[in-house]
Amino acid sequence: MTGRWAVGVVGLGLVGAALASPAPRERQAAFPPGRYVLAGGVDAATGDDVLELREKFRLRPNQYVLSGGPKPTDEVVVDDDLELRQGDRRLFVDDDTVASTERRGKLTARYQGQPIVLVLDRDKPLAVRATDHHPADAILGELWLHRSDGARKQLTKGVREQSANDLPHVFFDEKFDVKDGFARPVQMATGARTELPERPALLLPRFRTGR
């Protein structure tokens, strides 16, 4: 295990009682444990900002999970790079020029498709940009946005096309409303005891240890 992943495997339950509310909010959506990129810091999150949340958790009203499918834990597939913005603010930047599915030695992707916890302004659209750097394919899989109450919205069914002759090439660049169009799933887990902090990135070891 590399040092990068070693610091990323920390349970949310180990952060301490300060994150837990006095009593469970039974009617709020509970998001499943898993490895997530945590945004919401001063700078844009990257593929290094991954934390394993070991117990189910709640989001605050202005927090969302971007995943690669109808489940919050579905991985995002992008070949090669992904950028998320609201206005002039960059929320997440994947600029390793490597497909998220690549696992070959030194070519292993820095961002490996983990779902991303975002802090969003509901009145501003979410801009999604995907860039292709290497032939032969430009790929962006499905994208779903999950709201704090458990409702979800499919942003795109995905794109797969042949690489352009001139690279790098931005093959996907669209904006999505984050206020409307959400639908609640038939079954929704509830009863999470833990709520993420206002800035989820503060849970990352590099912030908690002062590094």
Tell me the C-alpha to C-alpha distance, in Å, between residue 156 and each of 46, 92, 128, 130, 175.
22, 18, 10, 12, 11
Question: Given pLDDT bands bounded at 50, 70 and 90, which one contains residue 42?
Answer: very high
pLDDT at residue 27 greater than cutoff 90: no
Could you report the per-residue pLDDT of 122-171, keeping only the tens digit for each?
999 999 999 999 999 999 999 999 999 999 999 999 999 999 999 999 99
Give pLDDT, residue 108. Answer: 94
Q: Where are the beta strands (DSSP E) in 29-94?
A: 34-38, 50-53, 57-58, 63-67, 78-79, 81-86, 89-94
- Looking at residue 188, its pLDDT comes to 87
pTM of the prediction?
0.87
Phi-psi bin for 19: left (phi > 0), alpha (psi -120 to 50), beta?
alpha
